[in-house]
Chains A and B, each alone.
Chain A
Amino acid sequence: DVKVTQSSRYLVKRTGEKVFLECVQDMDHENMFWYRQDPGLGLRLIYFSYDVKMKEKGDIPEGYSVSREKKERFSLILESASTNQTSMYLCASSLRQAKNIQYFGAGTRLSVL
């Protein structure tokens, strides 16, 4: 079974803090994605990566950055957390050959106070 593991289920941070969300997948997937999920808005793509050290902006990249130093690990960074970044963050991965089939982690619920 594919496993996508997000390091924290719940996080509480203060405004202005630098926040790191970590995601690890164990199936050698080339593609990895970060989404945020908000009520009524569904999942919105923040950033994705199709290879080590490669990244592309999604639909809502402002206020975020990412890092992919190893194939299995994809990090989302909030440089200076703000209250409007309070959300559920979901990581996903997919094989290049089956690019549309994404496997998700359990999510990190981030609260910024």
Chain B
Amino acid sequence: QKEVEQDPGPLSVPEGAIVSLNCTYSNSAFQYFMWYRQYSRKGPELLMYTYSSGNKEDGRFTAQVDKSSKYISLFIRDSQPSDSATYLCAISMTTDSWGKLQFGAGTQVVVTP
């Protein structure tokens, strides 16, 4: 079983809709949670960073962590065609000295005009 599970999609939504992405993880030692966005033929770029449970908002993006369910989510409000990309969740343990990340497989999102 993978440590991080993420539905690969593709997820197709009309412009202006809310995009809902999620990942589940198996190890309760994971404490740091990140979302990366990767455009086609580019490297991933950090979008959101949270630790422990709760919500974090940044503009149209909201990251949510539910540690009791081992479930993390990313919501994109008022989606735009420029949001079309692959979104990767990544998690890390506090006990890891080097910040090694475990990545989900990535969900491809397509926002249609």
B92 CB–A CB distance under 8 Å: yes
- Complex Cα spacing A44 to B100, Å: 10
CB <8 Å contact, A58 and B100: yes
CB <8 Å contact, B92 and A100: yes
> What interface size band does chain B fall in?
20 to 34
- Complex Cα spacing A100 to B30, Å: 12
Give B residues with C-beta under 8 Å from A: 4, 6, 8, 32, 34, 36, 41-46, 49, 88, 90, 92, 96-101, 103-106
Give A residues with C-beta under 8 Å from B: 4, 31, 33, 40-45, 48, 50, 56, 58, 90, 92, 94, 99-107
Q: Could you list 29 A-B pairs, sorted by A, with CB under 8 Å?
A: A4-B43, A31-B98, A31-B99, A33-B100, A42-B88, A42-B103, A42-B106, A43-B88, A43-B103, A45-B100, A58-B100, A90-B43, A92-B43, A99-B92, A99-B96, A99-B98, A100-B34, A101-B49, A101-B99, A102-B101, A103-B46, A104-B36, A104-B43, A104-B44, A104-B45, A105-B43, A106-B42, A107-B42, A107-B43
